Amino acid sequence: MTPILFYLIQGCDASVLLDDTSNFTGEKNSFPNANSLRGFEVIDNIKSQLEISCPGVVSCADILALAASESVGALGGQRWNVALGRRDSITASLSESNSDLPAPFLDLSGLITAFSNKGFTTEEMVTLSGAHTIGQVRCRFFRDRIYNETNIDSSYAKAMQAACPFDSGDDNLSPFDPKTPATFDNAYYQNLVNLKGLVHSDQQLFVNGSGETDSQVSRYSRNMGRFKKDFSDTMLKMSMLTPLTGSDGQIRTNCHFINE
């Protein structure tokens, strides 16, 4: 899954980076995250270099926020101005990670509720879902859709069945967007219009051309510039989701562990 929804748990506080220890349980092994989150070594490398040049100054939370913007920009999307000064959480919540992250099996009403609970409108939910124009997802999260659902292009379903066998390959990875998997563009929405959404929750955004969010999906499928601008604006809002500032939290020395 894409890392952008890290923010939907405790906020932009880098809680997702914390490893489990003998007396601490983090979020990495929650149902949505286990064997799905990747790229921690990139954050580690950035943090180690910053600790050499300016120790104890730049938080892991700020690194994550900047990395999200820079990665989107590097892949062809629009960067946003990331406000800095976040501090790192000294807590994490496995239960909230299991319950609050929007599951790939949700219907539209469930998606709307999940994002509304974090202060986002239905329109913003559709915009943020466009993060799936990049990233990959495990077979276990889309198997039921490609074998049992009917609102899916038959040739696409057959192709995905080759990548995700009916009774094996749970951890096989496939791109959300097979057209341009490493480019931040509007192909994700074009796929939805053509009934080629890979996970159930994605295709819920476009049902039959007359659903609650269908018009926005259609608009983005035709207007890449509008999508990129809206995504940048909404990610700026998400990056400000309940950050820790002032004396709250800490500046971790190692992003994986709370300072002793």
Each residue of 126-135: b (16+ CB within 10 Å) or e?
bbbbbbbbbb
Q: What's the rounded Cα separation, in Å, for the pair 80 and 4?
A: 13
11 assigned binding-site residue = yes
Q: What's the rounded Cα separation, in Å, for the pair 90 and 84?
A: 19
41 assigned binding-site residue = no
**What pLDDT does residue 27 have?**
81
Query: For residue 97, which amino acid is it?
Result: S
Residue 137 near residue 176 (C-beta atoms within 8 A)? yes
248 assigned binding-site residue = no
**pLDDT tens-place values along the chain, 260 residues long:** 454 555 556 678 888 898 888 888 878 777 777 666 778 899 999 999 999 999 999 999 999 999 999 999 999 999 999 999 999 999 877 777 776 778 899 999 999 999 998 899 999 999 999 999 999 999 999 999 999 999 999 999 999 999 999 999 999 999 999 999 999 999 999 999 999 999 999 999 999 767 899 999 999 999 999 999 999 999 999 988 888 999 999 999 999 999 98
**What pLDDT does residue 3 have?**
42
**What pLDDT does residue 129 have?**
96
211 assigned binding-site residue = no
**What pLDDT does residue 55 have?**
96
Report the C-alpha dihedral over residues 30, 33, 35, 38, rounded to 10 degrees: -140
202 assigned binding-site residue = no
- The overall pTM is greater than 0.85: yes
**What pLDDT does residue 250 have?**
97
Residue 10 near residue 89 (C-beta atoms within 8 A)? yes
Phi-psi region of 198 (alpha: psi -120 to 50; beta: other; left: phi over 0): alpha
- Angle among Cα 89, 38, 258 to the nearest 5 degrees reads 25
26 assigned binding-site residue = no
Alpha helices in the chain (DSSP H): 40-53, 60-74, 94-100, 108-116, 122-129, 143-148, 154-163, 187-193, 200-203, 214-222, 224-239
15 assigned binding-site residue = yes
Residue 60 near residue 88 (C-beta atoms within 8 A)? yes
